[in-house]
């Protein structure tokens, strides 16, 4: 299995910084905006964004995690039950501007489920999507991101994995084709 | 471990400790869900569940129905009192007739021990036992375990005493299995006539003095005297039972440590537990009921995920 590195640590840092300034452009000081990361992998992007945004703005940026397990459309189509992660939204989303964050935007089905899950918490004013990696030619649903870290062109059998120093030991984004027995 | 080892939930006896752990962890996320502004998730929108109650029930039946509805399943209810069972139909015929209307999962309460197991071996649907006679009541034991874990952080090494009518109680048997599998120590306490003769074979302690039992435990689970199952007199009078085995505030306050008081309901106030204890801040009776919905959602969710398409 050959692994190709699409982004290394330096690229990731630059990309995150650019995304932060893009977010500030449309959300000013985040006084009515919150960031929600999708479990399980989107939350790492949020952790990094939060840190940088707070350094730039000099104030706290409200962030949460959202688990979408119970809203997925592939329940019972898998061998094993989908095991949920924690949801942590301890603020009111009513009337807020929300930025949903995930690491890889692929078929769009996760985001569809994320929107359903989010709306169970109330009625936000506006919802936007930030995808750290956008695999643009593989969409099943009409969903596009408002903020994109990097667009990559991939075949549907390829995988893109965003790895972080906190969990995998190193910041990098890799592209690979899994072995057929995987 | 993220899959149940069983195809039906007929009793705690068949579950492994990993199964129980999985159910309790899943229930935690469902507890978050039922405390949201919109308490419903769409997971089971293509599943139909039949609730078959051949015996009276308020809490369990409502709890199952709410759990099913909050998972977006379609629900049909059935109670023996108003059905063709009265006309002489057998259990399997009744259930097969219901299943031919395309039902995927059956929740059943029945007065005969083993009814759920019997059914699970003979019909083509997942079966959840909601109480079978004096045998088992697995979801009650799971919600009790969930409630204890929520209060004390863990079940490992905790001491739980079950007080009252152990002989006729399905809650007691399921609780004993469940607590022991999760590493807790269990004691039963009650009059000699209401404690099964060989219960110590299950590895539980037996105590006939309520004060000594309460001094030993971290949690006391007070059971109701099931007069409807008692065909002979097991003790002279309810008043005498209540004097010896009833928990009142005076006794609770005189203990050397603060214990948690549980009750599976329905409560007979003034018999096994007095009103001031039932309503005190040491009692978690209403939390148990709340947790019941989350635990039942977890059981249904995990079993339903095994239903083939």
Give the tens place of pLDDT for each residue, B199-244.
999 999 999 999 999 999 999 999 998 888 888 888 888 899 999 9
3-state secondary structure of B130: strand
Determine the pLDDT at residue B21.
95
pLDDT tens per residue across span B247-276 = 999 999 999 999 999 999 899 999 999 999
A28 lies in a domain?
yes
Domain count, chain A: 1
With both helix axes pointing from N to C terminus, report the angle between B138-152 and B17-33 in degrees, rounded to the nearest 10: 70
Catalytically annotated residue among B109, B149, B170, B224: B109
User: Does residue A182 form part of some domain?
Assistant: no
Contact B89, B53 (CB under 8 A): no
Choice between A47 and A181, residue whose per-residue pLDDT is larger:
A47
3-state per-residue secondary structure call for A147-168? EEEEEECCCCCCEEEEECCCCC
CATH number at A119 reads: 3.40.50.2020
In chain B, what residues touch A81 (CB-CB under 8 Å)?
A: 2-4, 301-302, 305-306
* Interchain CB contact of A75 with B (< 8 Å): yes
Whether the per-residue pLDDT at B1 is higher than 70: the answer is: no
On whether the CB atoms of residues B162 and B177 are closer than 8 A, the answer is no
Question: B275 or A78: whose pLDDT is higher?
Answer: B275
Whether B304 and chain A come into contact, CB under 8 Å, resolves to yes
Nearest alpha-carbon partner for B149 in B253, B295, B305: B295
The sheet carrying A159-163 orders its strands as A3-7, A172-176, A159-163
What pLDDT score does A180 carry?
A: 65
Q: Mean pLDDT, to the nearest integer, of B281-288?
A: 95
Identify the pLDDT of residue B309. 58
Q: Distance between CA B169 and CA A56 in Å, rounded?
A: 63
What is the pLDDT confidence band of residue A134, given thresholds at 50, 70 and 90?
very high
B109 belongs to the catalytic site: yes
Q: Tell me whether residue A50 is in a domain.
A: yes
For chains A and B, CB pairs below 8 A equal 56
| Residue B239 contacts A, CB cutoff 8 Å | no
Evaluate whether residue A71 is within a structural domain.
Answer: yes
Q: Comparing C-alpha atoms, which of B165, B115, B175, B104 is closest to residue B139?
A: B175
Range of the domain at A151: 3-176
Among A69, A76, A86, A96, pick the best mutation site for testing chain B contact (most B Cβ within 10 A): A76
Please give the residue of chain A at the shortest CA–CA distance from B38.
A120
- The pLDDT mean for chain B works out to 92
What residues in A contact B33, CB-CB < 8 Å?
A: 70
Q: In this structure, are residues B71 and B297 in contact, taking their beta carbons and an 8 Å threshold?
A: yes
Helices then strands (H, E): number in chain A?
3, 8
Q: How far is CA B159 from CA A118, B96, B124, B162, B224, in A?
A: 41, 43, 40, 10, 20
Looking at residue B7, what is its pLDDT? 92
Cross-chain residue pair B43–A70, CB shorter than 8 Å? yes
Read off the tokens for B203. Answer: 């590895």
Q: Find the catalytic residue in B8, B126, B137, B149.
A: B137
**Which of B25-29, B75-79, B149-153 has the lowest average pLDDT?**
B75-79
- In chain A, the percentage of residues whose pLDDT exceeds 90 is 56
**A81 falls within a domain:** yes
Residues on chain A touching B104 (C-beta within 8 angstroms): none
Q: What ipTM goes with this model?
A: 0.73
Q: Residue A26 falls within a domain, yes or no?
A: yes
Angle B285-304/B17-33 helices, nearest 10 degrees? 110
Candidate from A77-81, A128-132, A150-154 with smallest mean pLDDT: A77-81
pLDDT in tens, B18-34: 999 999 999 999 998 89
pLDDT in tens, A101-127: 999 999 999 999 999 999 888 899 999
Domains detected in chain B: 12-136+291-304 (3.40.50.1370), 138-288 (3.40.50.1370)
Note the pLDDT of residue B195: 94
- Partner B, chain A 116-175, Cβ-Cβ below 8 Å: 116, 119-122
Residue A102 within any structural domain of the chain:
yes
Residue A102: CA atoms inside 13 Å, Cβ hemisphere, count? 27
Establish if A167 belongs to a structural domain. yes
To probe the interface with B, which of A83, A94, A117 has the most B CB atoms within 10 Å?
A83
């Amino acid at each position: 299995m050959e692994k190709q590195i699409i982004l290394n640590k330096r690229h990731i840092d630059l990309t995150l910084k650019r995304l932060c300034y893009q977010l500030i452009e449309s959300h000013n000081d985040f006084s009515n905006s919150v960031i929600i990361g999708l479990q399980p992998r989107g939350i790492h992007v949020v952790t990094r964004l939060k840190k940088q945004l707070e350094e730039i703005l000099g104030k706290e940026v409200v962030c949460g995690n959202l688990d979408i397990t119970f809203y997925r459309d592939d329940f019972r189509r898998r061998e094993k039950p989908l095991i949920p992660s924690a949801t942590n939204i301890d603020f009111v989303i009513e009337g807020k501007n929300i930025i949903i964050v995930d690491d890889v935007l692929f078929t769009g089905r996760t985001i569809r489920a994320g929107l359903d899950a989010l709306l169970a918490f109330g009625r936000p004013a506006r919802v936007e999507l930030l995808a750290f990696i956008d695999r643009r030619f593989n969409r099943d649903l009409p969903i596009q991101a408002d903020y994109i870290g990097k667009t990559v062109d991939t075949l549907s059998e390829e995988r893109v994995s965003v790895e972080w120093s906190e969990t995998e030991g190193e910041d990098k984004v890799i592209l690979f084709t899994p072995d057929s027995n995987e | 471990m993220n899959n149940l080892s069983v195809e039906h939930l007929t009793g705690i006896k068949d579950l492994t400790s990993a199964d129980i752990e999985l159910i309790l962890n899943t229930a935690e996320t469902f507890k978050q869900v039922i405390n949201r502004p919109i308490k419903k998730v769409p997971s089971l929108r293509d599943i139909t569940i039949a609730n078959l109650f051949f015996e009276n029930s308020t809490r369990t039946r409502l709890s199952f129905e709410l759990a099913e509805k909050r998972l977006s399943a379609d629900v049909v209810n059935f109670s023996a009192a108003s059905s063709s069972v009265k006309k002489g139909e057998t259990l399997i015929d009744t259930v097969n007739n219901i299943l031919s209307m395309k039902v995927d999962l059956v929740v059943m309460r029945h007065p005969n021990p083993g009814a759920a197991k019997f059914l699970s071996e003979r019909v083509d649907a997942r079966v959840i036992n909601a109480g079978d006679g004096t045998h088992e009541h697995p979801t009650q034991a799971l919600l009790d375990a969930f409630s204890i874990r929520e209060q004390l952080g863990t079940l490992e090494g905790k001491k739980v005493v079950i007080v009252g009518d152990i002989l006729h109680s399905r809650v007691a048997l399921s609780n004993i299995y469940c607590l022991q599998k999760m590493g807790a120590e269990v004691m039963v306490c009650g009059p000699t006539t209401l404690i099964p003769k060989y219960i110590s074979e299950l590895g539980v302690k037996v105590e006939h003095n309520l004060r000594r039992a309460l001094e030993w435990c971290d949690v006391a689970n007070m059971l109701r005297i099931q007069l409807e199952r008692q065909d002979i007199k097991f003790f002279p009078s309810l008043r005498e039972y209540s004097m010896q085995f009833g928990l009142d505030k005076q006794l609770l306050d005189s203990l050397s440590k603060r214990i948690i008081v549980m009750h599976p309901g329905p409560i007979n106030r003034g018999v096994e537990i007095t009103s001031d204890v039932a309503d005190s801040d040491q009692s978690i009776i209403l939390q148990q009921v709340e947790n019941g919905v989350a635990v039942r959602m977890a059981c249904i969710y995990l079993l339903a995920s095994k239903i083939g398409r």
